[in-house]
A and B are shown apart, each in its own frame.
Chain A
Amino acid sequence: MKADGTIVARQLCKSFGHHEVLRGIDLTVKAGEISCIIGPSGSGKSTLLRCVNGLETIDRGVLRVNGEDFGYVEKERAYHALRPQRLAEQRSHIGMVFQQFNLFPNMTAEDNVMSGPVLVKKISRKVAKEQAQRLLAQVGLAGCGHKYPAQLSGGQQQRVAIARALAMEPSIMLFDEPTSALDPELVGEVLAVMRDLAHHGMTMLVVTHEMGFARDVADEVLFMDGGVAVERGDAREVLANPREKRTQEFLERVL
């Protein structure tokens, strides 16, 4: 398994019932690149992100993650869905951070971080514990390992969630509006951890409303509206001089 940290999507289509959420999306993220997806709510940006690790299945189009077809295997006339074990294996190379954190409330912060390595990779508890302590320190939560999620602030919970995803040593990290559920004063600490990750060369695909983060950190920005990729290009270029009218209108509203 190569796990080269790339994402390629071509003409990605997805419908919920009769509602077309993604209408032919193209996306390329190179290894080590940071790509931000912006756009109004309901534009399909979260759905796109969730397709990349199989939380949603795609209806049509090509989706290659880490250099191989994701979730399906290409046959002569159709893509055939992978068996659950193979899908889980592919997912284990992709880290996901959710808007609502989704930490396991029945486990301590440390057990949350250890859950992937111990339960999926079958690494010994001792080794996983050392790794968990290192990762918690990396996200600025050294010494908080014994606490339960309910005892942590939103910003701390989200940082534990990032550490939990990193514990699987993924080649790609996906962030689904990681700061949208946080109180304004807690946004900074989570963004700081994400910046740090970006500087260490992690491939990141981030759905966000934080335009400042996109401008400072992202290599590329994708503006989505109505299930279509309206504009795509260099992050600073798109945010400063949007070519499309819809992008201009959106940025005027949020900036």
Chain B
Amino acid sequence: MSELLPEQKKRITPKRPRDYVSWAVAIAIVGGLVTTTVTNENYQWPVVFSYFTTEAILDGLVLTLVLTVASMVLGTLLGLLLAVMRMSHQAPISGLARLYITFFRGTPVLVQLIFWFNIAALYPNITIGIPFTDISTPVDMNALMTPLTAAIVGLTLNQAAYMAEIIRGGFASVNRGQYEAADSLGMSGFTRLRHVIIPQTMPAIIPATGNQVIGMLKETSLVSVLGVAELLNSAQSIYARTYQTIPLLIVASLWYLIMTMALSVPQSMIERRFSRSTRRPAPVAVATKESLL
């Protein structure tokens, strides 16, 4: 056996007791949870599997996705309008946007949803028409505000307030010098916005919007209180009949989990892409390489 010279010796960090203890604790907790879920008959796993892909549940799943997409798209468009209003130099315009954002962020979305569902109590009949013309139709608010309409209106208006703040944050992240450089070249306000400012707001806006989508997917479960047959409501309708409450809640939860996990894959890819192009002077092209000009 040859003696090692000090220069040849490797440097290592010996394992300590806490390195083993942390593993033991984690395994004990997970093991306990798995054992109880498998052995406890009350979970009724066979019931879970039998309902997992029934038509009612899948229909609810589709409606949940429709609600998410519709509210996100409409909410983002309205949020963009609100953000532009909020940044206006005209005090009344920015004041209106601020009022809207304060109100819709300051009250619970569940309350807002129930409120929209019952809006007919405030305005039983409204008239939709084009101003200064004779074209108008009276509308019965009760007929107009179905549970589904109330759900989309409620989720959209609430989402718009949050999106407005995200978009405004994106604009605030762009350096003042960028506006000055565009101005000094003689760019019009629109050209400056379209080709210089908006592309630079995206690294701040897109990842935050991804989070909102995931949040919205779960938030749609709130509209079950209005009787909209989305995923949670579909599960509730079944267990109201069969009293298999827990298994059906598990069915709904598993579907929510699958969808949020599916969404988090593109979400983290987008986040990585944008953090790479902004943080480091990396060789990879900035996301908006498309023909900007």
CB atoms of A106 and B200 under 8 A apart: yes
CB atoms of A165 and B184 under 8 A apart: yes
B59 within 8 A of A: no
Counting chain B residues whose Cβ lies within 8 A of the other chain, the interface size class is 20 to 34
CB atoms of A120 and B286 under 8 A apart: no
Select one of B175, B187, B283, B288 contacting A88, CB under 8 A.
B187
B63 within 8 A of A: no
A180 within 8 A of B: no
CB neighbours (8 Å) of A148 from chain B are: 281, 285-286
A33 within 8 A of B: no
Shortest Cβ distance from A23 into chain B, in angstroms? 24
A164 within 8 A of B: yes
Of B93-101, B189-197, B256-264, the segment with at least 4 beta carbons within 8 Å of chain A is: B189-197
Total A-B pairs, Cβ < 8 A: 89
From known contacts A102-B178, A106-B200, infer whether A120 and B281 are also in contact, taking CB-CB under 8 Å.
Answer: no
CB neighbours (8 Å) of B283 from chain A are: 151
What are 24 contact pairs spanning A and B, CB under 8 A? A54-B183, A55-B180, A55-B183, A84-B188, A89-B186, A91-B185, A92-B185, A94-B184, A95-B184, A98-B181, A102-B177, A104-B181, A104-B182, A104-B196, A104-B200, A105-B200, A111-B293, A114-B293, A115-B196, A115-B293, A116-B187, A119-B185, A120-B188, A165-B185
- Residues on B lying within 8 angstroms of A by beta carbon are 175, 177-178, 180-189, 191, 195-196, 199-200, 280-283, 285-286, 288, 292-293
Given contacts A92-B185, A128-B293, 17 further A-B contacts (CB under 8 A): A84-B188, A84-B189, A91-B183, A91-B185, A102-B181, A104-B181, A105-B286, A111-B292, A115-B196, A119-B185, A120-B186, A125-B293, A148-B285, A150-B281, A151-B281, A161-B181, A164-B185
